[in-house]
Amino acid sequence: MTQVLHVFRHQWADFWRRGIVLAMALSVGLVGIASVLLEWQAWHQEDATRQAMQAQERSQWLALEDTHIHKAAHRGYFVIRDMSVGVVLDRGVWDFGGSAIWLEAHRRNAPLLRAADDAGILARAVPRGVGPVCLWLVPLLIAVLAHGVFASERAQGSLAFAISSGAPPGTLVLGKSLATIALAWAGALLPLGLGMAIALANGQEAAPTAVWLVATLAALVLFAVGTVIVSALCTRPFQALIALLLIWFVFVVVWPRLAADLTGQLLPLPSSQTVRVEAEVASEGLVSDESKDLVRTMLATKGVTSPNSGGVSAMAAEIDAAAAFKRIFAPLEEGKQNQARLLDVLSWLSPIGAADRLGDSVLHLSDHDQAVFEARAEAMRFATQMALNEGWAEQTKSARGDAVLWQKVIDAADKATVQRPPKSLAWGGLVLWGFISVWGLISARSVIARSAV
Amino acid sequence: MMTLFWLEARLLLGTRLFQVAAVSFVVLAIFAGWQGGQFARSQARAIETARQLETKTDAEARAKAAEIRASNDAVPWWQNPMNVQAWSYAMIRHVALPPKPLAGVAIADADLMPFLFRINPHPPDRWSNQANEVTSSLAAMGGLDLTDVMLTFTPLIVLLAFADLVRERQGTPRAWLALVQSGAQGPLLMKRLMPRAVMCLLIVAYTVSIGILTTGPVFTASTLFGGLAIAFIVLSYACFWLLLLAALIAFMRNAVATFAAFVGLWFVLGILAPQGTEAIARWSAPPPDPLAVFAAERSATVAARMNEDDLTRAYAATDPQAAEMLLQALEEDRLLITPTNLLIQREVERNRAAEVAEENQQKTAFYAAVEALGRASPALLARQSIYRLAGRDRARRRRFEAQVESYHAALQEAFVPLLMRRATLDDVLLPEPFAFTE
């Protein structure tokens, strides 16, 4: 252990003397901190606007006074997705999913308000948030600054000298790996810590944030260890540099995009127009006798023995429409879930991609969370329409609402819940690459041992 | 000179790493070209199917009208073919942004934006569109198209082609030997740079040609010229990186520093430039905040809805033929979804006219700033130029949106009075199909 620490200190001193630590800390620190501050400011502004919009929506609904209930049902109510402060850490897929849904009588509307629609230049497959910024930048800098950790010594002959002088190869590999990991963390820890502190101070849950931090740091460890392995396997520093840059290029730039393309080709989704037009047609004139009986029974259990026929028909129509929507939208929803799962598995081929997807998932900014928002909106739509029409069914003559009914509808919307989909499978990628790295370190040890010959 | 050229070319092509990179480049270009071509063809097919549906339903409506005229029977309003189409949201009228002949070269953001709307005289929230459903992650990544492959891989190919030369600048024995033999470093570098540059350009030209052919274009004079223009843009882009690397080789003495500078420039110009350009454009010409616009629209809609009875009465006063139905519905507290929605839409448009004009002005200024700033990055400049040739640029989309808006306005002008009256017509009123003007 002492020898490992000695190698670590020696390598760290070398990094320090050559200005590598400073270069890493300054470049990643500046870019990372700038990213944290800009994203924080953007979140602060957008979150406040979103909350104000939801409050405006709520107060507009509560101010309906004595509006006809069916009119109110068609006026609808917008549900606006809360923006998680997690966007400071990792923007995830936030910009590419709609974040407002109009809840309307017997109609399932598409999500609106997608940030990507308002971009001047649509920047896709690029990092946003301090986590992805570090996952892109630190490995690139590690490749450029630390590629010669073994290869340079081998080229200069000092590695052969060290081995023949009795330095254990395993100790060298471990010590240099630790120093390279420390170099990677030296750049990333400050911006990641700042981002985490800001997120926690603004209400982000601690446990998922800790998982995100561990995943991000683990991915950096894996790349740092990979750098040491590649450097040990290459005979010349330049060869190591080119190999590492290509590995970075494939892991960070090419594979995530290729994985998305392969997913789209292997598991295509049905056209939205087909699905939504089918839903629109299916929702017209849907009032079955079975549903009416069901509604009457349901109302009877609540003490409404002679309900208003208009209200009963409206409730029955909503039950039938919800059932039709469930059937019609199922291929689309299942298709999206399957695509997300396949992407999780494909991300295993890149430790950076796996850490990024795991971060999206624990920060609730993944495909699964977009699906939950859309599913919950549909559950809210059904709950609000049922509450509204129940109010109608309870009335004998008039079909006009009042403050009590409007509040009841809001309460019904708030209570609507959906089952959360399974967690992201992306963690498997980090475990897989952990094993590969251990195997790589053992192989590197043998290669180093032979370099004295 | 030729001997040296072939010697360098053989050395380059014999490098295992370069071989792997060049083959990957070609394979990815073929995949991206195929994917882009398939996407463009699927769009063309969807538009064709939509047109056929439109023609068929028009013919059915005309036949129905002829039948009504021939029978001389009184037909209730709801059975009139025009009313059936226009009152329900099912009126079949499509507006489409057709893919250009070289559309397969770029997907850009076309996978996110609607290219085929089924529209009706009702407000736009009652239209349906054919935007491809995509899982958010797929949307975030975007389709890997030929433009992406060419613009991302070209600098890499340049770097790998010159890797030996960069390394030798650090003073390997081979460099010193060559220098001693040739007597001067400048001419030697030129003799060794040129063959590698030519090989690079040949590989890039070959890959872009294969990629364009894989998209499956129809061979016409315009696609030929378009294809040549795209190849020219990509080659110019490659020349930029070649010159940049040559300058770095000439002025920097350290191989790793040369490499790091090249990679850094690629990172800044290729990866950070889009986000940077967007951020600077937003700062210099702020566009309207989409959330604020959304909130203002919603607020205006709710305000108009609160006065829907007054709006209905006001309209009834201006249209005697509609008055009876509208006032009777008000009297009986009946739901008038279509007329009310139209009146509310008009009221919102009237109330927000000044704000919308300002928003449009801000948007125009923002897009102009993006366009101007984008010219500073060769990657963005090349990308925008290829998008224009492929018909995937934002300007073309904005022209499409403007034309859809005027078509919809004309549609409303013809249909809205009839929708208000529930008129029983003797004839079928079918609007002209939409045609996008380039």
* Residue scoring higher pLDDT (A199 or B124): A199
**Residue of A80, A94, A265, A273 to mutate for B, most B C-beta atoms under 10 A:** A273
Note the pLDDT of residue B14.
Answer: 81
| Least-confidence region, from A73-87, B70-84, B294-308 | B70-84
Note the pLDDT of residue A307.
Answer: 85
SS3 label, residue A316: helix
pLDDT 10s digits, B361-409: 999 999 999 989 988 889 999 999 999 999 999 889 999 999 999 999 8
Q: Is residue A34 within 8 Å of A194, Cβ to Cβ?
A: no
Percent with pLDDT over 90 in chain B: 34
pLDDT 10s digits, A150-192: 888 888 888 878 887 777 888 888 999 999 999 999 989 999 9
pLDDT 10s digits, A191-212: 999 999 999 999 999 999 999 9
Q: How far apart are CA B46 and CA B38, in angstroms?
A: 12
Highest mean pLDDT, choosing among A285-299, A301-315, B197-211, B262-276? B197-211
| Least-confidence region, from A38-52, B27-41, B42-56, B77-91 | B77-91
Looking at residues B209-214, what average pLDDT do you find?
94
Note the pLDDT of residue B87.
Answer: 57
CB contact under 8 A, A140 and B128: no
* Predicted model pTM: 0.88
Note the pLDDT of residue B177.
Answer: 62
**ipTM of this predicted structure:** 0.87
Q: Is residue A136 within 8 Å of A253, Cβ to Cβ?
A: no
Note the pLDDT of residue B164.
Answer: 78
Burial (Cβ within 10 Å: 0-12, 13-18, ≥19) of residue A338: middle
Q: φ and ψ at A304, to 5 degrees?
A: -95, 100
The residues, ordered by sequence, that sit 6+ positions from B248 with a Cβ below 8 Å of its Cβ are B258, B261, B262
* Residue scoring higher pLDDT (B167 or A130): A130
Strand partners, B14: none
Q: Is residue B255 within 8 Å of A236, Cβ to Cβ?
A: no
Note the pLDDT of residue B150.
Answer: 94
Write the DSSP symbol of residue A101: E
pLDDT 10s digits, A341-395: 999 999 999 999 999 999 999 999 999 899 999 999 999 999 999 999 988 888 8
Chain B: closest CA distance from residue A3 (Å) = 30
Enter the tokens of residue A330: 């199922």
pLDDT 10s digits, A312-350: 888 998 999 999 999 999 999 899 999 999 999 999 999
Looking at residues A402-431, what average pLDDT do you find?
86
Chain A: closest CA distance from residue B335 (Å) = 6
Looking at residues B55-62, what average pLDDT do you find?
82
Residues of A in contact with B112 (CB under 8 A): 96, 114, 116-117, 122
pLDDT over 70 at A289, yes or no: yes
CB contact under 8 A, A340 and B137: yes
Chain B: closest CA distance from residue A394 (Å) = 19
Q: What angle do CA A86, A87, A92 make, to 5 degrees?
A: 105
pLDDT over 70 at B140, yes or no: yes
Residues of A in contact with B108 (CB under 8 A): 122
Ordered by start, the domain boundaries in chain A are 2-452
pLDDT 10s digits, A82-107: 999 999 999 999 999 889 999 988 88
Residues of B in contact with A261 (CB under 8 A): 31, 35, 141, 143-144
CB contact under 8 A, B141 and A112: no
Note the pLDDT of residue B146.
Answer: 94
- Indicate the residue of A74, A245, A367 with minimum beta-carbon distance to B337: A74
Note the pLDDT of residue B84.
Answer: 58
Pairs of residues, one from chain A and one from chain B, whose beta carbons lie less than 8 Å apart = 198
Note the pLDDT of residue A212.
Answer: 94
* Residue scoring higher pLDDT (A107 or A453): A107
Note the pLDDT of residue B421.
Answer: 72
- Indicate the residue of A114, A140, A280 with minimum beta-carbon distance to B267: A140
CB contact under 8 A, A124 and B140: yes
Q: How far apart are CA B137 and CA B145, in angstroms?
A: 17
CB contact under 8 A, B141 and A260: yes
Q: Is residue A199 within 8 Å of A210, Cβ to Cβ?
A: no
Write the DSSP symbol of residue A86: G
Chain B: closest CA distance from residue A301 (Å) = 30
Q: Is residue B421 within 8 Å of B322, Cβ to Cβ?
A: yes
pLDDT over 70 at B228, yes or no: yes
